[in-house]
Structure 1
Amino acid sequence: MIRPMMFLGLPLMAGAATAGPVETQSGPLQAVPVMDGLDTPWAFDVLPDETVLVTLRDGALLAQKDGARWQVANPPKVAADGQGGLLDILVPADFAQTRQLFFTYSKRQGIRGAGTAVYRATLSEDGRSLTQGETIFEIARGTRGGVHFGARLVESRDGTLFVTIGDRGNGDQAQDLSMHNGSVLHITKEGAPVPGNPFAGTDGAQPEIWSYGHRNPQGAALDASGQLWTVEHGARGGDEVNRIEKGANYGWPVISYGVNYNGSPIGEGTEKEGMKQPVHFWDPSMAPSGMTFFEGGPWDGNAFIGSLKFDYIARLAGDPLREVEQISSPETGRVRDVAQGPDGRLWFLSVQDGALYRLE
């Protein structure tokens, strides 16, 4: 998890050049490249020594510091199929003591199946390789198809992990507690269910499940109070921002504000007793991915979410959260990840450009 440290003198990386102005309601900014030449990047994080780490969906882990770039050896072996591959990365709060990193990835399960898994490894002292790597968790009964892995990782204030899991293209499984599909999980750093999880004592339920009824949550973040939020893809319309509550059912595919891709209705409508409503939704879909809450300055407490479809960064504010601004520029093409960088600025990962930028 990137923790802003206000290092305003961070040097530009190799090949960096200042782009044109990015107009925002807080004034003009510039998108400055931090890393470029990235082939289908998925997520980024920064080490305490300011080394930037980026995952590529094909399975590579790249590192860059002081203008030098290298590929970190021994990442997990991924099933790079469709939306699957090497996905999220988390630098935990205790990295300086443990040198452990956490990843999500699509793991081969059976002959043709695959499922979201969590991988833990220790980064060597020289930062060149992962050691002691192991899969600490994988979803049960992986399914075929290369869609809806979810796969965001968030560290809770107590050091446990939240993991988002997509429905793997089978919506009905998001209502089936015997499967992990379509859920938010709560696990320890050893991959075990956190004591007190809501379904741990329920016959047939997966004990890691924290909430369920999700379609494909590709963004997740804690706000300043430590509350977990997710953002997830709807079908045709109905992308959702959800405030995650313990044991709650978020309704997919029984309720939705979208329709199927062929225009037919989904489920039973937009509301049903016992199912949570989204805090905010988009129609038409903006294809959200990556989420962060900003700390400090005029954006304090605001949420930022990347759009893969309409090529902008959404800024959400207020109570309840609502989209109040769309930050758009030639650099904000297919924004996959967004976070507040160690310099206190907003950083974002563009799949279209194959580049990591910061706004300054």
Structure 2
Amino acid sequence: MRLIQFLMPLSGMLLLSIPFAIAAQTFSSHNTRFSLETVAGGLEHPWSLAFLPDGSMLVTERAGRLRVIKSGRLLPQAIEGLPSLAVSGQGGLLDVVPHPEFADNKTLFLSYAHRSSQGMTTRVARGIFEGERLKDVSTIFEALPRSSTSRHFGGRMAFDASGYLYISVGDRGEMDRAQDTRDDAGGVHRITLNGEPAPGNPGLDDPSINDTFFTWGNRNIQGMTLHPETGELWTHEHGPRGGDEINILSSGTNYGWPEITYGIGYSGLPITLHTEKEGMAQPLHYWDPSIAPSGMAFYTGSEFPQWQGSLFVGALKLRKLVRLEIENGQVMEEEDLLTSLNERIRDVRAGPDGSLWLLTDSSKGKVYRVVPAQ
């Protein structure tokens, strides 16, 4: 069974009846023409987009607000009841992911930065979305130890077909932490819906590895999605100056940062002389120079037959949308889209209406819908 059949309840049924705002711009791909519709604007650094079964959408603003788009309109009032969070540097309110059975239990999961007297960290909370607020909010994951830095929080999340939650945590700008498997920074964690280590995690049988770890040696993952047919977890992560990576994650795998990388330091000096080492995975694909990737989605809709199976990645630094043609788990072709838009693409989602959805990262960020050109 294709995994997309399992995922349909996560996103709801159809959004086709929503009267979206029409402020369209037309662009070209080498195999199709498409329009970009502005659905909402005026968002303060929007970070994540999620679809709900009733056709509405949720948008996080890094400044600490959770917003609702309903019937094609951004509601003015932010959702109340969010957990206490810190907005500093790259930190704030990050990802929002509905429970796989949201239609029945109304449960949401939020990732965010949190501050205490010991410093800042990445947290995940669970709450019940009722009316215009979150209720019964509780913390189910906290990356330790904390740090004084305000960067590389990671924060992307995804559910697999077994209902386990994956959470990325960046190296917090302290690169050597990514190789310390007793330190939660610099990897991906897999937990149950109650925050317990997921069965089969590599650290459950190894006291040298924290028991929620799924992978480590990851610098700062801000793109995460499941392959619609294989169910494998695909991610991308920021490199330093070059060396952004796409990886297919495998349990207990070390992805090498900072022992191996195809990038160099921001100073221009090498971080390491190695691009490969025994026991460390090679990326499926990498970018040099860096595009600063964020957001990631496979396209499985019917609106763009030419894009079926393509992987879409947003780019912050190089301000574009990247389309990758995938064949047998390999990148066969790369195409840059929306280069003339000149906007930082923060999130990319495949909507249940067959469209592709984008968020732009700015103080007046937007929600865009990609549709076929008329």
Contact residue 10 and residue 343 of structure 1 kept, 8 A: no
Tell me how far apart the structure 2 counterparts of residues 221 and 327 of structure 1 sit (CA, whole Å): 20
Counterparts of residues 78-117 of structure 1 (less than 5 Å): 78-111=85-118, 113-117=119-123
Distance 1:20 1:209, change over 3 A: same
Q: Secondary structure at the match of 1:318?
A: strand
Counterparts of residues 12-91 of structure 1 (less than 5 Å): 12=20, 16-66=21-71, 67=73, 69=75, 70-91=77-98
Amino acid aligned to 1:147: R
Deviation at 1:318, TM superposition (A): 2.7
Q: Secondary structure at the match of 1:71?
A: coil
Distance 1:95 1:4, change over 3 A: closer
Question: What does the per-residue CA deviation read over 1:101-148, in whole Å, with 9 as the maximum and x for residues that have no partner?
Answer: 00100111334x111111100001x2x000000111101111111100
Q: TM-score, normalised by structure 1?
A: 0.95
Q: TM-score, normalised by structure 2?
A: 0.91
Deviation at 1:45, TM superposition (A): 0.5
Deviation at 1:312, TM superposition (A): 0.7
Aligned partner of 1:349 in structure 2 is 359
Tell me how far apart the structure 1 counterparts of residues 361 and 223 of structure 2 sit (CA, whole Å): 15
Aligned partner of 1:198 in structure 2 is 202
Contact residue 34 and residue 355 of structure 1 kept, 8 A: yes
Contact residue 67 and residue 74 of structure 2 kept, 8 A: no
1:305 aligns with 2:313: yes
Deviates more, 1:167-176 or 1:322-331: 322-331
Amino acid aligned to 1:114: M
Question: What does the per-residue CA deviation read over 1:200-253, in whole Å, with 9 as the maximum and x for residues that have no partner?
Answer: 222242100000000001111000121001100000000000110110000000
Aligned partner of 1:279 in structure 2 is 284
Tell me how far apart the structure 2 counterparts of residues 10 and 63 of structure 1 sit (CA, whole Å): 14
Among residues 172, 177, 182, which one is paired with 2:181 in the alignment? 177
**What percentage of residue pairs aligned between the two structures are identical?**
41
Contact residue 4 and residue 344 of structure 1 kept, 8 A: no
Q: Secondary structure at the match of 2:343?
A: coil
Tell me how far apart the structure 2 counterparts of residues 9 and 323 of structure 1 sit (CA, whole Å): 34
Among residues 120, 124, 129, which one is paired with 1:123 in the alignment? 129
Aligned partner of 2:172 in structure 1 is 168
Amino acid aligned to 1:158: S
Distance 1:7 1:47, change over 3 A: closer
Tell me how far apart the structure 2 counterparts of residues 129 and 44 of structure 1 sit (CA, whole Å): 17
Among residues 133, 136, 140, which one is paired with 1:136 in the alignment? 140
Contact residue 319 and residue 343 of structure 2 kept, 8 A: yes
Distance 1:123 1:33, change over 3 A: same
Tell me how far apart the structure 1 counterparts of residues 199 and 316 of structure 2 sit (CA, whole Å): 36
Tell me how far apart the structure 2 counterparts of residues 309 and 192 of structure 1 sit (CA, whole Å): 36
Q: Secondary structure at the match of 1:200?
A: helix
Counterparts of residues 162-311 of structure 1 (less than 5 Å): 162-224=166-228, 225-296=230-301, 297-311=305-319
Aligned partner of 1:333 in structure 2 is 343
Deviation at 1:324, TM superposition (A): 1.7
Tell me how far apart the structure 2 counterparts of residues 255 and 4 of structure 1 sit (CA, whole Å): 41
Aligned residues: 354
Amino acid aligned to 2:311: A
Question: What does the per-residue CA deviation read over 1:17-59, in whole Å, with 9 as the maximum and x for residues that have no partner?
Answer: 3232121123221111121110111111011111111111111
Contact residue 331 and residue 350 of structure 1 kept, 8 A: no
Tell me how far apart the structure 2 counterparts of residues 122 and 30 of structure 1 sit (CA, whole Å): 36
Contact residue 25 and residue 37 of structure 2 kept, 8 A: no
Query: Unpaired runs of 5+ in structure 1?
Result: none
